[in-house]
Amino acid sequence: MPHIAIKCYPKGLNKQQLQSFADDLTAFVSERLNTPDEWITIDYQELSENDWKEQVYDAEVKPNGDRFLRKPHYQL
């Protein structure tokens, strides 16, 4: 039961664009992980630059980057 957590700076997407993004991501994960789409959940959060550094980079990326599937290519 994959759970995908996405945190990013504000992107300004409307409801339709967010739904399309969620549908595309769900289809991709369902196919690649051979998982029924009804088992996939997606948490999408937009954070300000200040919140990003504190809540994401300092708390998650910096201490855990070595176990990420895709390593960070930036530093704050």
Q: Which residues are catalytic?
A: 2
Do the beta carbons of residue 53 and residue 16 sit within 8 Å?
Answer: no
